[in-house]
Amino acid sequence: MEIQIPIGAKGKEEMVVTPETTAARYGSGLVEVFATPAMVALMEKTCLVSVLPFLPEGFGTVGIKVDIAHTRATPVGMKVTCESTLVEVDRRRLVFELVAHDEKGEIGRGRHERFVIDTAKFMEKL
């Protein structure tokens, strides 16, 4: 099955930093600021949601590569916005460019790759 996802497809997701999404809670640090793993999860979600409308029923995507820089801390209570752009499609491999901002400016950017899967077949192989 050939899947058509247009280059340039965009995504945008937002969240507010909570105590549950801090480095101290994730165990990735000791301070109460937005955790890098939480930022990566928001970035992955942004990419996933951006391509779901183009996928047939029963298909999804899984993350396969992350190359992200987290460049500035964000405190609890501040909103974070992530935007993604699909920049490459190689059969079922999707490459996105990402940027994340809080209310004061850019906090991270990078690239993320996802792979289109037939969910049932994927789960059978586990």
Contact 120, 56 (CB under 8 A): no
pLDDT digits (tens, 9 = 90+) for 79-93: 999 999 999 999 999
d(CA 67, CA 100): 13
**Which stretches of the chain are DSSP H helices?**
23-26, 36-51, 119-124
* Mean pLDDT score, 73-78: 98
Helix and strand totals (H; E) in the chain: 3, 5
pLDDT digits (tens, 9 = 90+) for 46-71: 999 999 999 999 999 999 999 999 99
Domain chopping of the chain, boundaries? 10-124
* Mean pLDDT score, 7-26: 98
Contact 34, 22 (CB under 8 A): yes
Reported CATH class of domain 10-124: alpha beta
Residue 5 has pLDDT above 80, yes or no: yes
Global pTM? 0.96
Look over the chain and give the mean of its residue pLDDT values, rounded to a whole number.
97
Closest CA to 11 of 43, 38, 33, 35: 43
